[in-house]
Amino acid sequence: MLTQTILKELISFSNYVVEKAKKKKKKVSPDDIFEALADAADRKRKCRIVYNKIGEGTKEYIVAPYSLRWHGDNEMLYAYDFDTGHIKSFYLEDISFVEVTNSRFRPRWNVELG
């Protein structure tokens, strides 16, 4: 009986550690973000991005990256958002995390990034 209690406590503690690690936000350099997006575009892979929306906090998107362009003084990512079915623009400086997935996308337009 004692071992089951210890096992439950260990599982509970490990879940706590995993959740705490997920909540920790690591600052990513713009170069790392650019490289991850360029790699995903080159390999035609979907990305999961964490985006800091002004006034709304952070939001996650699953996107297909297509291009980076300057809009005034800001560099913008243009990517297809699979949830809405539209091309969206994202300020590159407000993307805090990029994960390249194993899921491929079939380009609908020319991929300029990569």
Domains of the chain: 27-104 (2.30.30.520)
Contact between residue 48 and residue 61 where contact means Cβ atoms under 8 Å apart: yes
Give the list of residues 6+ apart from residue 65 with CB closer than 8 angstroms, or none.
Answer: 37, 38, 40, 41, 47, 77, 78, 79, 111, 113
**Predicted confidence (pLDDT) at residue 11 exceeds the cutoff of 60:** no
Q: What is the pLDDT of residues 56-82, one digit of tens each?
A: 899 999 999 999 999 999 999 999 999
Share of the chain above pLDDT 90, in %: 62
